[in-house]
Amino acid sequence: MKTQRFFQSFSEQLTYWRRQYEALRRKRKLLGTLRSESGNNRRRGLKRDIFSYIILFLLKISGNSEHQKREIALGSMAKSVKNHGGIDTSGLGWIHEQRSSVVLAIAIVSLTGVMGHKLYNQPQLKVGTPAPQTIKAPYTDTIEDKKETDAQRKAVSKSSMPVLMIDTQVTEKINQNLQQLLARGNEIRTTAGSFPFFDTSVLSVYIQHYLRSCSVSEWQALLAAVENTSKQKLRLSLPKQKIRGLQNSPNSVLPTRSADFTQALAELEAYRVTTSEQNLSSVIIQISQARQAYAQASVQFLQQEITNSESETIYNETILLDLLDDDWAKTQTGIRQSAERILTQGIPYGLPPSILQNAVSLQVQALVPKNAEPLATKLLLAVLQPNLKKDEEQTKQHALQAAAGVTPVMVEVRQGEVIVTKGKLITAWRFDVLEHYQLIRRENNWLGLAKLAGFVTVAIGIFVWVEKRFKCQVRQRDRLLVLLLTLSTPGVLAMGIPYTTWSAVGLLLGSFYRPTLGVTVVVLMFLLLPVSLEVSTIALLAGAAGGILGSCIAQRLRTREELALLGIAIALTQGGVYLIAKLMVGAAFGVGWYLVLQEAGLFALSGLIWSIVALGLSPYLEKLFDLVTPIRLAELANPNRPLLKRLATETPGTFQHTLFVSTLAEAAAKKLGCNVELVRAGTLYHDIGKMHDPLGFIENQMGGPNKHETEIKDPWKSAELIKKHVTEGLVMARKHLLPTAIQAFIPEHQGTMAIAYFYHQAQQMAQADPSITVNEADFRYDGPIPQSRETAIVMLADSCEAALRSLKDTTPEQALTMLNNILRARWQDNQMVDSGLTREEMTEIAQIFVEVWQQFHHKRIAYPKLKPSNEKLAKG
């Protein structure tokens, strides 16, 4: 029972301490952090109070009157909090210091653990080291000999036949060359004219070929014989002058009768018998024309320059001109079909010429006329060449399949068999046997982990230094987010995926924080990852380039569309850097250039994919870690947001006041280099608490009766109502899940300023009635005072807005003097102590406010008054 009561009471105390901590934490936000002059004394007092409270708690457990002692303890704690003013802030400071240490420890341990995963469970016995003792097999088992299995698989993979594929470029070139040769043949045959050139029933095809191709002397002799009407022999029938003329001709030879000559003469004589002399003369003319065309074609063989060197040996034979027109058409078709069939089947490199010639002959015999087979064969052999190339991907897959089909080599190890003898070197096979029996004595490499932890600690120290050096306002939750994003990169690499989260890390860190922090994280990862992980330097360089680009540009963008375009730019950067790096080292000029292009494409694709992932996660991370980005601030500043629509409809005067304050504050923030988007959004929400009682504020009374004078008539209650717009504003902001950075504008724009009007009323009442005591704290806002330059600018703009609005016929110099007095009062009231604004900047802010006021209250043209007649016309 005592144990049960102990745990029950202990849980109650833990719950109470948690509530106390939350209350003190909220109070710290409202009251601000006290100066550290007496911080050490307050911290010691806190420790003393906590120690005494724990003693009371322990005494309470051992006693009987538990309820009574709990009341005493609670009273002691309340008294302690009451008597030690500001002890909560120092206590929270001490707790936050401890939280920083915890976050630091988590960062070191997690980063070391993820990046040094290979240092865990490392074998104490390694290949190539001497065995510390003789180790025997504890039981009989069959173990795979991985080395022998790999050797057999490599041999099978190496001996596997390559997979060939058609080279379309070579095939296209062969078809082009074939087409050129056929076009060349058509050109020559066109010059020679149609064949046969006369009716084959009168003159046979053979004789027509003889008539157009015979020599000049034969043709002249034939003509003379035809002209001679006698039946004598040709030598007797010709006149002596004609024979003598033929003999004296330099290009003629006295013909001798041949079978072709006699056959031709006979067919011509037969035609003369069946027809008239006029028709015979017409035939003679056609034969002469055919001979002339044939002679021109023969000359064209020699004169024209042929592109294909083999075409000279193909077309210098008369077979091209001896073919009939129909046979030549069939020959062309057969040649094309033969080439298509052979090329479709493919011609490999190293094919013996005899095999190719046999294949061509078989195709030609089936598709080309008999008399054209020699020509078609020569033409095809002249253009055909190997058109098969190695299909690298299919060959690789084929080799892998062949290797996978090899049965593993299994070796039986008997119980008690010596695996390794003491002092002998451990071979790869013996190591596999030891690992199979779990005898390799695995252990953590603590020295390596310690070294890695040292490098990680240095890197974290550099990050913290950059954070302090550039005054980045980073919370503990922000550090945790940075840690999680950082862990994603080595985490993906640890899974064996080289396409890791560089682009997502850079884009998110650049959007959420300053580009300096994002670049710092990416550069530190680039330096740390090679220490413990086996990863390509070029891959690291490509990823880091994409991450740095995202970090530098993300915060400048204002829409999701622009971020999407940035993702494309990151992808191109990663792929381009990888390809350029490979080109610089010469890896892209080898046989595996296509693999380099493939890897570059994969890096570009991974950059795009991770950028899309980052864009999808961004809204959730903003909500979860209470972050504000330019895009989220732009969304919050949309006048269609529920709170802003209510503000415009329920408190129109406050809304107009808000717009003018926003204009003043934005101008000052832009001039001083502050976060303009944050100032705009924060200003729009800084007075939302006035919606709880709109008529309690003069700008919403629209000239009606003043509620404070007609209903309340109590400066203390009026001051409480005015102060309530801060607390109610915080309630509304939390209800609508506004970011903390926006919520900070609600209390900090008032700081701890005095509500002067009602404070003056209370003082007047105290003077009239001495029994009334006026406490200045009742007429001051609860704060805290501005903790950033942005909230300080809004405080100054809010203070000056009413004064500027009331000015009418005032010179800019007078307005500037008045604003300087207001800002000086805020400075002297210590409202700017924690803001970071300097006195010189406040003077500059006053000048900016006056310039904005002048733009709103510029002079207008005085229009002349209408005369009565004009007024009538205007009315009429």
HEC profile of 437-461: CCCCCEECCHHHHHHHHHHHHHHHH
- pLDDT tier at 23, thresholds 50, 70, 90: low
- Measured over the CA atoms of residue 274, residue 275, residue 276 and residue 281, the dihedral's sign is negative
Task: Give the model confidence (pLDDT) of 582-627 as tens digits.
Answer: 888 776 555 567 788 888 999 999 999 999 999 999 999 999 999 9
Q: Which of the 8 DSSP states describes residue 198?
A: S
Question: What confidence score (pLDDT) does residue 303 get?
Answer: 62
Q: Is 473 helix (H, G, I), strand (E, B) or coil?
A: coil
Question: What confidence score (pLDDT) does residue 376 get?
Answer: 85
Please report, rounded to a whole number, the percentage of residues in the chain having pLDDT higher than 70.
80
- pLDDT tier at 355, thresholds 50, 70, 90: confident
Q: Are 629 and 618 in contact (CB under 8 A)?
A: yes
Task: Give the model confidence (pLDDT) of 497-534 as tens digits.
Answer: 888 999 999 999 999 988 999 999 999 999 999 988 88
Burial of 833 (0-12, 13-18, 19+ CB in 10 A): middle
pLDDT at 702 over 80: no
Q: Are 449 and 119 in contact (CB under 8 A)?
A: yes
Task: Give the model confidence (pLDDT) of 321-333 as tens digits.
Answer: 778 888 888 888 8
- pLDDT tier at 85, thresholds 50, 70, 90: very low
Q: CA end-to-end span of the chain, whole Å? A: 101
> H or E element: which one contains 88?
helix 87-115
User: In this structure, which amino acid lies at residue 352?
Assistant: P
pLDDT at 459 over 90: yes
Alpha-carbon Rg for the chain, nearest whole angstrom, is: 51
Question: What confidence score (pLDDT) does residue 770 get?
Answer: 83
Question: What confidence score (pLDDT) does residue 19 get?
Answer: 52
Where b means 16+ CB within 10 Å and e means fewer, 468-501 reads eeeeeebeeebbebbbebbbbbbbbbbeeebbbb
Most confident of 30-34, 301-305, 392-396: 392-396
Task: Give the model confidence (pLDDT) of 171-229 as tens digits.
Answer: 888 888 888 888 888 888 888 888 888 787 778 887 878 888 788 888 888 888 877 74
Question: What confidence score (pLDDT) does residue 865 get?
Answer: 56
pLDDT at 231 over 90: no
Pick the residue with more confidence: 65 or 419?
419
Question: What confidence score (pLDDT) does residue 63 get?
Answer: 39
Question: What confidence score (pLDDT) does residue 516 get?
Answer: 92
Most confident of 83-97, 744-758, 770-784: 744-758
Most confident of 7-11, 106-110, 226-230, 366-370: 106-110
Average pLDDT over residues 775-786: 88
What's the token pair of residue 294? 């044939």
pLDDT at 438 over 80: no
User: In this structure, which amino acid lies at residue 128?
Assistant: G
Question: What confidence score (pLDDT) does residue 864 get?
Answer: 60
**How distant is the alpha carbon of residue 351 from its chain centre?**
48
- pLDDT tier at 671, thresholds 50, 70, 90: very high
Question: What confidence score (pLDDT) does residue 707 get?
Answer: 77
